[in-house]
Amino acid sequence: MAYPTDRLATWFVTGTSRGLGLDLVRQLLGRGDAVTATTRSTERLLTALGDGVDTSRLLPLTVDLRDEEQVAAAVRKTTERFGGLDVVVNNAGYGYLAAVEETGERDVRDMLDVQVVGVWNVLRAAIPVLREQRGGHIVNVSSVLGLTAVPGWALYCAGKFALEGLSEALAAEVAGFGVDVTIVEPGYFRTDFLTRDSLALPETTTGHYPAIREMVAQHLELQGKQLGDPVKGAAAVIERVVTGEGPLRQLLGSDSHAYATAKVQALRDNLDATAATAPATDHPAAA
> Active-site positions?
142, 156, 160
Nearest-5° Cα angle at 38, 191 to 107: 65
Number of alpha carbons in the 13 Å side-chain half-sphere of residue 112 = 13
189 DSSP 8-state letter = B
Cα separation, 120 vs 99, whole angstroms: 27
Pairing of strands 179-186, 87-90: unpaired
Order of all β-strands in the sheet with 136-141:
58-62, 34-39, 10-13, 87-90, 136-141, 179-186, 249-252
Residues sharing a CB contact under 8 Å with residue 156, sequence separation 6 or more, in sequence order: 95, 96, 97, 111, 143, 145
